[in-house]
Structure 1
Amino acid sequence: MARGSTSVEGNQPVSVSRTNLRSPDSDPAPVSALGNVVPAPSSVRPGGTPYTITSATAIRVDDAPGVRAVGDHLAAYLRPSTGYPLPVTPGSGADGVQLRLDPAAGELGDEGYRLESTGDGVLLTAREPAGLFHGVQTLRQLLPHAVEADSEQPGPWTVPGGTITDVPRYPYRGAMLDVSRHFFTVEQVKRYVDQLALYKINKLHLHLTDDQGWRIAVDSWPQLTAVGGSTSVGGTGGFYTKDQFRELVEYAAERHLDVIPEIDLPGHTNAALASYAELNPDGQAPELYTGTEVGFSSLCADKPVTYEFMDDVIREIAAITPGDRLHIGGDEADNTSAEDYAAIMAKAQESVARHGKEVVAWHQVTGTAVADGGWVQYWGTDETKKEEREQVAAAVRAGARLILSPADRAYLDMKYDGEFALGLSWAGLVEVDRSYDWDPATYFAEEGVPAEAVLGVEAPLWTETLSTNAELELMAFPRLLSAAEKGWSRGDLPWEGFHERLVDQGRRLTALGIAYHPSPKVEWAAE
């Protein structure tokens, strides 16, 4: 979905072993300088005595909702590699790592934090637990890369001295995972969630339905998963029960990510049409689909059952989604007339509102009326027709908020180069420097969209050619770090500084066992 081309090039699997990964030097990696993290912090004031975590270090937490959970996460990150007990205890003390909420710290907002490192300890302050959690991710990155290992390492575990004050640029910093083209299990998605959390991503957009598979249980329409969930591109499928989906949502929420489910309408619906014959204009169910073409399927605007189906699905998905948003797709409806598209999308938006949620949709929805409070997700490229961009801008001027996912910058499934075995290339080849070389604030400036209308950035990962976590990681890393920085960091920071920090992140990704692409655009550390 949201691709604009249907050819799959180089669709052969890639086997990723440790030999595919960059390796850290045999000597312990040097301690990162303060601020040598991704995404770049807002303000860095280095200086003073560093703090070294030892076997006597305690993690001290405020007695406030959500703070103990952040402390437990920090302890879980650090205990395996350090071998230290790192007890999580209430109250303050003279040393150790302290996690403190300060409701009066309005300048930090809902997700900002302040990290102060001295010879006595590390103090993390935030207004909300989400800010403390993001500060913990920065603290991880300030420690040697070996801290990410799952077995005891020699250390020392030293945090540079100084103060970081950090507030995100945008409230929406997203990543999308397509589990429809190829199905990924709960545990596989959890692994991706953990990787997203390290880089302060706060939204997980799950593309749950498409032509190739329906991945979420709907009690009132059980054949959607029994039939529609049985296939994927080139093979068998799978689906989440409602309890499994709740488990994923809860896991993400514990890491301060909201899950936004997507039910794609009115196109990309072959899995649903194959499950229920009555949804088709002639009452005949099509065959299940395991290819990669797009734009051929559509719901019927003139059948009452279409709207019963949509409302039931939206009602049930809304009921198991604690967040306030639901994505209704809306792109590549090539087999739907403009009149029918407008009718279906209007009813879908009404249904979303009726069941207590607000709408997110791909930018084609701007060809019709966008609901009040709607978010529009742009997936075009630098070459997208001016009329289409103007249409998006008009919707934004009318009150919609804009999420930017330009395919030739932010799509993680685009090939790095013409020889790369995985991915597609319809939007062009996207090396890591290109994924970084754009500014969300000015992306729609020519169309008169003000910077404040941009809600944030999302990096989609479509899976026509991807079926394993190793393949996901090769496509996501290191480009996901570009998207994370574009969403969090202030201003249009130069490539040179990002490149330096990316080199350091290569070792951390290796320590985490993440299979990343060793892009020739980056002078990675020697093996």
Structure 2
Amino acid sequence: MPTLRISNSGSALLLLAVLTTFMACAPKKSPPVPMDLAQESIIPIPVSVKATNSSFELTSATDIYVQGDSKELLKIGQYLADKLNPSTGLGIEVKSSNEAPAVGNIYLSIKKDAKLGAEGYNLNITPDGVTLEANAPAGLFMGVQTIRQLLPAQVESSSKQEGPWRMATGTINDIPTYAVRGAMFDVARHFFSVEDTKRFIDLIAAYKMNTMHLHLSDDQGWRIEIKSWPKLAEHGGKTQVGGGKGGYYTQEQYKDIVQYALDRYITIIPEIDMPGHTNAALAAYPELNCDGKARELYTGTEVGFSTLCTKNEITYKFIDDVIRELAALTPGPFIHIGGDESHVTKKEDYIPFVNRVQGIVLSHGKQAIGWDEIALGTLKKGAFVQHWADVDNAVNAVKQGSKVLMSPARKAYMDMQYDSTTQWGLHWAAYIEVDSAYIWDPATLVPGLAQKDVLGIEAPLWSETVDQIDEVEYMVFPRLPGYAEIGWSAASARNWDGYKKRLGAHGPRFTAMGINYYPSKLVEWKEDKGKKLKN
């Protein structure tokens, strides 16, 4: 058989042909463009940013690699891919690797470093690739939110957009200041669907918040199925403020919400308000009233008129059943027992009630949180107080060895109007413009409290005046990123002049995310450089 021989010149020609074909098929990647990482508008502001004045570009050859074959890390990688692919159209895949991948990729890895804690991360961006390291998976998830913000705003769109998709190069080292950083969603005054609640979770996750407080019961509605007391949801959940249809979550729906939050490293804190704010329960079960008579369902907005019968044993059987079922559905460590505005409960009845209910929560393996009024009682070990109004209660809680979750109504209530012209919201606590929402420090706001006494920050959204998710978004944005920064970033790193510039740069990002936000005149909102998002 004749042997095929290729001359040296033929070999060169063949090699050239192969290289030419490869280069023609390879994704086109622009030369690195000078970009300054220190000028990027990251919210919350990181602990440390060091720029190297170049750029990394995502291309169709880019993939996301995660260290090893951990299902949890693969899930985080897929979360990032799912955020990037709809807008970029790059078809980024998630793969496993025990070492840093080749040039042009993103690598997520665990590097044991106790200094980073559960949520800190190190992000290194070079023209050749992106490496995100953390001590724990939650830290990787927090770092992923930073990666999102370093890409052009249109990356948040749900439809394909035009690139290029560049990130400034350099290193970011970051760790949160407070352990708890969250928002409260009131689904009791007006009921919101599972889809709306997941939307709320996604929005707070984007700014590194890690808790969502669900206000599940109030005078106007009971929103969680309790199998041992079925009329709570079936009857107590049938209406809402203004007389609308109302609704409730089945236990399966609630578990779905909890898991959705956990996948985003957000802990759900469920609240069953008591002994006041209980008319929905009192309407469902007459025996919870001292006179044994069922109350009428309530659709107004007044507060302080209802109370459980604190001297009847059936009341504690009821509470034990509710907490038992709720604790079994909630993997997080906290159950919120409310305790606020119980104006018709005598103090001599209120204090032993709060003390006993804390014990019930403990008996089901959870820690109790309550509004600051519960500090009038004796706080059990592990109980926390949520400050909203009375500074004396907050100080009293600390004196009892507790820590305080900071939600001062005059600063942190997202249902407060921005000004007198705001369509939705109330103003009994204050008008809260974007600057007022940002310019305060949880460690110094209450005399007698220091940073060591503060568990964290939570921004509540009460829903008396809002019943659609776009109305919720308008009240929440643009204040929520500021609350997220207060909880994450050191007070020494924060100032209004710098923050409002970074916030203004997030205007196009809000638009790309489909957020209906309030365009405060105090902020110079950045335009999208004439680039309109494709629908």
**TM-score, reference length from structure 2:** 0.90
1:138 pairs with 142, 146, 149, which one?
146
Contact 2:276 2:339 in 1 (8 A): yes
1:41 aligns to 2:42 (yes or no):
no
Corresponding residue of 2:4: none
Displacement of 1:43 in angstroms is: 0.5
Distance 1:192 1:425 in 2: 23
Q: Which moves more between the two structures, 59-68 or 187-196?
A: 59-68
1:259 pairs with 241, 257, 268, which one?
268
Secondary structure (helix, strand or coil) at the match of 1:263 reads strand
1:18-29 pair list within 5 angstroms: none
Corresponding residue of 2:431: 429
Which letter maps to 2:407?
A: S
Distance 2:510 2:35 in 1: 16
1:347 aligns to 2:347 (yes or no):
no
Contact 2:52 2:170 in 1 (8 A): yes
Which letter maps to 2:509?
A: R
Contact 2:191 2:246 in 1 (8 A): yes
Which letter maps to 1:346?
A: N
1:389 pairs with 388, 391, 416, which one?
391
Corresponding residue of 2:414: 412
Contact 1:31 1:142 in 2 (8 A): no
Contact 2:504 2:523 in 1 (8 A): yes
Displacement of 1:346 in angstroms is: 1.4
Contact 2:45 2:485 in 1 (8 A): yes
Instruction: Give the aligned CA root-mean-square deviation in angstroms.
Output: 1.3
1:310-321 pair list within 5 angstroms: 310-321=319-330
Q: Figure out how many residues of one structure are paired with residues of the other and give that number.
A: 488
Distance 2:285 2:230 in 1: 10
1:525 aligns to 2:526 (yes or no):
yes
Corresponding residue of 1:498: 499
Secondary structure (helix, strand or coil) at the match of 1:483 reads helix
Contact 2:51 2:170 in 1 (8 A): yes
Secondary structure (helix, strand or coil) at the match of 1:342 reads helix
Displacement of 1:397 in angstroms is: 2.5
Displacement of 1:36 in angstroms is: 1.7
Contact 1:266 1:330 in 2 (8 A): yes
Corresponding residue of 1:115: 123
1:443-522 pair list within 5 angstroms: 443-444=445-446, 446-447=447-448, 449-492=449-492, 493-522=494-523
Corresponding residue of 1:67: 73
1:54 aligns to 2:59 (yes or no):
yes
Secondary structure (helix, strand or coil) at the match of 2:54 reads coil
Displacement of 1:395 in angstroms is: 1.8
| 1:122-165 Cα distance to aligned partner (Å, 9 max, x none) | 10000111100010000000000010111111110101010000
Contact 2:415 2:475 in 1 (8 A): yes
Distance 2:396 2:465 in 1: 35
Secondary structure (helix, strand or coil) at the match of 2:506 reads helix
Change (3 A) 1:31 1:140: farther
Structure with higher Rg: it is 2
1:85 aligns to 2:86 (yes or no):
no
Corresponding residue of 1:183: 191
Change (3 A) 1:206 1:32: farther
1:199 aligns to 2:204 (yes or no):
no
Corresponding residue of 2:367: 358
Distance 2:81 2:261 in 1: 18
Which letter maps to 2:428?
A: W
Distance 2:246 2:179 in 1: 34
Contact 2:352 2:377 in 1 (8 A): no
Distance 2:357 2:402 in 1: 17
Distance 1:433 1:525 in 2: 17
1:106 aligns to 2:136 (yes or no):
no
1:283 aligns to 2:292 (yes or no):
yes
By relative contact order (CA 8 Å, sep 6+), the higher-ranking structure is 1
Contact 1:403 1:456 in 2 (8 A): yes
Secondary structure (helix, strand or coil) at the match of 1:496 reads helix
Distance 2:327 2:527 in 1: 49
Contact 1:32 1:144 in 2 (8 A): no
Q: Which runs of 5+ in 2 are unaligned?
A: 1-33, 529-535
Corresponding residue of 1:14: none
Contact 2:406 2:457 in 1 (8 A): yes
Contact 2:261 2:268 in 1 (8 A): yes
Which letter maps to 2:430?
A: G
Distance 2:196 2:400 in 1: 40
Contact 2:35 2:55 in 1 (8 A): no
Corresponding residue of 1:10: none
Distance 1:48 1:415 in 2: 42
Distance 1:107 1:303 in 2: 51
Q: Which runs of 5+ in 1 are unaligned?
A: 1-29, 381-387
Displaced runs of 4 or more, over 3 A = 30-35
Secondary structure (helix, strand or coil) at the match of 1:340 reads helix
Contact 1:149 1:512 in 2 (8 A): yes
Displacement of 1:31 in angstroms is: 7.6
Displacement of 1:32 in angstroms is: 8.1
Secondary structure (helix, strand or coil) at the match of 1:80 reads helix
Secondary structure (helix, strand or coil) at the match of 2:201 reads helix
Distance 2:297 2:58 in 1: 56
Secondary structure (helix, strand or coil) at the match of 2:65 reads strand
